[in-house]
A and B are shown apart, each in its own frame.
Chain A
Amino acid sequence: MTQQAGSPLIHVDQVSKRYGDRTVMSGVNFDVGPHEIVSVVGPSGCGKTTLLRCVAGLTAPSGGAVSIAGHVVTEPPEGVGVVFQHFGLFPWKTVFGNVAYGLTVRGISRREAEPRVRELIGMVGLEGFEHSYPHQLSGGMQQRAGLARALAIEPRVLLMDEPFASLDAQTRDLLQLEMLRILDQRPAATIFVTHSIDEAVLMGDRIVILTGHPGVVHDIVEVGIPRPRGREAVDSERFRVVRDYLWTVVMKGQGRQRADDGSNSLVNTHREGTAE
């Protein structure tokens, strides 16, 4: 089971976002504990990425607020690492330069940052490529660099916006497991946005299901698979149960009825996101 040292680190409180007449999401409520991974899953257009941007401080919510460690997020806060779907590496910087970016903008010199950057480059498996440019790397390697960049600032919070969506299936599988292993060693309050139901179940301790236009929290599911997780987690009974429930909810929009019937008694659901 996940270790949660005390109160939640991220608190999303009735967050909504409007662009003119169009409401993208509304009334989103959930918490993330300091060492917890929360997956956010839902169909296209339900506001998953917008939600992540609100937590990251890149977008201001129209209603409600996000707070991290008790402070309301109005601009990108310290100690928050973000991993982007299309990697977001600067093409004119080397891998080293990119990974060190979060430290560089704080005024930390290259020499000071070097040991930590090198360690992280090694940790994500990019040893030897410190002086390569992003265009010389495959997509998987670029995202590893993106991961290393987020980890370089020793974040309390890690925000990942469909980080493996732009990768081929094999690389995706590999990086999912590597990410889990890295987070076991360096836990952070993590929000993992994804389209993929399987990925949401594999990565998350809990899953926030967003559905509808505008997006609302349909349900929050406790995954209940112990850490550390390896490839075998995918074959477990629990994985199948959770995945099937998610499939029903997200794909067919019938989950609410089934849960109310009690016909899916193996699934624990938490409404409105109280942390365990």
Chain B
Amino acid sequence: MSAADRNLPAAARTSPDARRAQRLPVMRRGIAPGRGAGRPSGLEEASGAEAEAARRERTQVFLARVATGIGILVLWQVCAAALAPGYIARPLGVLGQVPTVFGDQSFWSAAGSTVLAVVEGLIIAIVFGTVIGLVMGRVRDVDRALRLYVDSFYAMPLVALVPLLTVWFGYTPLARLAVVVIEALLPVIFSVAEGGRSLSAEFTDVARAYRAPWWRIWAGIVLPASLPYLLGGIDLAIGRALVGAVVAEFIASLNGLGYYILFNVRSFQEDRAMLAMVLLVAFALAVRVPFSMFVRRELPWYRAG
């Protein structure tokens, strides 16, 4: 092969086409090029049947879920009707209250108040949590200084702090915001710091070997590498933020879904309270489901690697 190379005229030896022609057979697995591709080529006929089977399975799962849901509701209705006093919530009762509650302006203002507090608090927590987490993860001294406190606060039930916070901030929405921020901040710091610590030395070696300046290392390597950890932290933070908001409303009697629930339960209007809970769940799902879909779609490399 080397003799043949030498006999080629100089131009042919160096042109891209000649290089390609001289190239040894490339050993590639049957991975189709392009983003997100993973199906082996040459199984075209099978793919139609596969898709059909997948669709059927998805329908079955959906039906099973719906059937289970209906089953639970029926069981609940029957048991409540037969065994419980009248003020205990039951599905039909909840449905009956829908026009009253959803038509009530103060309900929607309460819902808006809670949702806004959670969103504001999350944004603040994510921004500050990421910065603190990154510094902790990458600067050893900071990590050593702060780790004990982060771990302790993360472990304790923060709801115990709420009465204290209501004294500091008064019975105001600011107290609720403070609770939300603290609840959401810790999982974000914790996760991002973990991500920073786990950064493979090989990545920074590559960056340094190719002479990347320090800001490129932070923005281009530390940040993307920590992204999966950050997203995991955000997922946790969403749940904790909701809990924090509701508990703060309980204790500080703030206008919001949490307080609405408390008020109606104490007024023996459990069906109405139940509707507020449904809305809370819907809000949580509405944030978390698109979030995990986003993660699955935009970070295929993390899932796989």
Contact = CB atoms under 8 A, between A and B. Distances in A.
Interface of A: 56-58, 76, 78, 80, 82, 84, 86, 88, 90-92, 94, 101-102, 105-106, 119, 122-123, 125, 128-138, 140-141, 149, 153, 170-171, 174, 177-178, 181, 185, 228-230
B29 A138 contact: yes
A181 B5 CA distance: 10
Contacts of B301: 91-92, 133-135
B203 interface: yes
Given A131-B34, A140-B27, A171-B27, A58 B202 contact: no
A88 B211 contact: no
A228 B5 contact: yes
B221 interface: yes
Given A90-B203, A133-B35, A134-B305, A80 B209 contact: yes
A191 to B, nearest CB: 13
A123 B31 contact: no
B35 A131 contact: yes
B14 A230 contact: no
A84 B202 contact: yes
B300 A135 contact: yes
A149 B207 CA distance: 12
A105 B210 contact: yes
B102 interface: no
A264 to B, nearest CB: 28
- Of the listed residues B34, B206, B212, B300, the one surrounded by the most CB atoms of chain A closer than 10 A to its CB is B206
B35 A122 contact: no
B27 A170 contact: yes
Nearest to A130: B33
Interface in B6-31: 6, 14, 16, 19-20, 22-24, 26-29, 31
A138 B31 contact: yes
Nearest to A170: B27
A187 B149 CA distance: 56
21 contacts: A76-B211, A84-B205, A91-B302, A92-B224, A101-B206, A105-B211, A119-B16, A122-B16, A123-B23, A125-B28, A128-B33, A134-B301, A134-B305, A137-B31, A140-B27, A153-B210, A174-B24, A178-B23, A228-B2, A228-B5, A228-B6
Contacts of B305: 91, 134-135
B156 interface: no
B38 interface: yes
Contact of A76 (B19, B209, B300): B209
Contacts of A181: 22, 24
A129 B33 contact: yes
Interface in B179-232: 202-203, 205-213, 216, 221, 224-225, 227
Nearest to A102: B210
Given A90-B224, A130-B33, A133-B35, 15 more contacts: A80-B209, A82-B205, A82-B209, A84-B206, A88-B206, A92-B224, A106-B211, A119-B16, A122-B19, A134-B305, A136-B38, A136-B304, A149-B210, A178-B24, A185-B19
Interface string B276-303: 0000000000000000000000011110
Interface size classification for chain B: 35 or more
B2 A229 contact: yes
Contacts of A131: 33-35
A101 B210 contact: yes
A122 to B, nearest CB: 6
Contacts of B299: 92
Nearest to A137: B31
B1 interface: yes
Q: Quick one: which of B1, B207, B210, B211 has the most chain A CB within 10 A?
A: B210
Contacts of A228: 2, 5-6
A174 B28 CA distance: 12
Contacts of B38: 136
A177 B24 contact: yes
Contacts of A102: 210
B218 to A, nearest CB: 13
Contacts of A153: 210
B29 A78 contact: no
Contact of B1 (A80, A106, A230): A230
Nearest to B37: A136
Contacts of B216: 105
Contact of A88 (B1, B6, B23, B205): B205
A82 B28 CA distance: 24
Contacts of B205: 58, 82, 84, 88
A56 B209 contact: yes
B23 A125 contact: yes
Nearest to B6: A228
